[in-house]
Amino acid sequence: MRGKSTIENRDIIVVGQQPWDTGIGSNCKNIALEFAKTNRVLYVNSPLDRITLLKQKDEPKVQKRLSVIQKKEKGLIPIGRNMWNLYPDCLTESINWIKIRPVFNGLNKRNNNLFACSIQKAIKELGFKDIILFNDNDIFRCFYLQELLAPVISIYYSRDNMVAVDYWKFHGEKLEPALIAKSDICMANSTYLANYCKKYNPHSYYVGQGCDLDMFSNHKETTPPNDIAKIPGPVIGYVGALQSIRLDIGLLAGIATEKPDWSIVLVGPEDDAFKASVLHQLKNVHFLGAKDPATLPGYIKAFDVCLNPQLVNPVTIGNYPRKIDEYLAMGKPVVATTTEAMSIFAAHTYLATGKEGYIANITKALNEDTPTLQQARRIFASSHTWENNIKEIYAAVEKWVKE
């Protein structure tokens, strides 16, 4: 690979946590689609594990994978120009509960071997050569793939602080740094995660984030829904899942209590902590519930100021806040919690810490909003495309090539 300056007409294998048939948005899928514009791409689903088989055997997605393992269906499927999806024909053991590290490592290596064997059969069938391996944040199942598949370049892509999550924490605290260190290149969608990777691998780069913003940028004909149209202004709003591990309930309550003339509008499904919170006792806090994603621009349009009242903790600190791009794509003023990951938005958002900081910045945002500022926000958000994201990924590879 060294000596080449672009990724074009290459064979790329994409592995990671999210299968192609996932029902939610996926960075990895969008990146793979961009890769496929100039390369051949094999997108590999994670292998079926035994606990999932036992607990979800009747689910259609599990049945599909079981049929492939039983040789009743073909696992390699074309899904577009230059793209194939692989359902691995192997069943792996569920081992994360094992706390004896040598035992876990041995079984994990066996799982990796089974997984690699399935991928190798697809490589042979497709005639892939000199492969590039792109690993989307999968620490365990893909830990040994660099050795087993022998790619000409291995890329580890970090988009979440995985080791802060209980499932990944025990073994991940040991394995992720080792995986980062042995990868040729590490890439991250936030500056925080890029700096984390750089502790273990000097070839670590911030590559930004792509977003699908058409729904938010093309909103001129959007009408605010009835349930928000009658709420008195100014409307200070948030759209998204209301999760107490990610959002600061106390901060929201403090803002609402101190500014009773502001309407705090929260659009999204609540977890149990939000349902039981003091927010439901405050007359100027309005819970509008979960909504069809297609209606969200209408709610954001009704906001005078958009919020991202994020808690700062190990789970949230490294996340790229795509929500901010959605707000900015509609030209809205945004007040968000100060974090390292938010630093790239500093010129177009109001960054705050604590109740007083939030109230001061919301007040400022209400008072100084102008059409000029709105247009600048839209232009900034429009730069965060998947096309630009892939350009940054390719630029990081070129840096590695030249070093």
Burial (CB < 10 A; 0-12, 13-18, 19+), residue 306, is buried
Position 3 scores a pLDDT of 41
In angstroms, the CA 89 to CA 338 distance is 46
CB atoms within 10 A of CB 220: 6
CB distance 144 to 295 below 8 Å: no
Is residue 1's pLDDT more than 50? no
In angstroms, the CA 391 to CA 385 distance is 10
Q: All domains of the chain, ordered by start, with CATH?
A: 11-210+385-402 (3.40.50.11010), 214-382 (3.40.50.2000)
Position 315 scores a pLDDT of 80
Is residue 113's pLDDT more than 60? yes
pTM: 0.86
Position 6 scores a pLDDT of 62
Percent of the chain with pLDDT over 70: 97
CB distance 15 to 157 below 8 Å: no
Of residues 298 and 314, more confidence is placed in: 298
pLDDT in tens, 311-356: 988 888 888 888 999 999 999 999 999 988 898 999 999 999 999 9
Q: What is the DSSP letter of 19?
A: -
In angstroms, the CA 139 to CA 304 distance is 42
Is residue 32's pLDDT more than 50? yes
Is residue 2's pLDDT more than 70? no
Is residue 106's pLDDT more than 50? yes
| Among 317, 321, 320, 351, residue whose Cα is nearest residue 334 | 351
Is residue 5's pLDDT more than 50? no
Lowest mean pLDDT among 2-6, 19-23, 101-105, 312-316: 2-6
Is residue 91's pLDDT more than 90? yes
Helix (H) and strand (E) counts for the chain?
16, 16
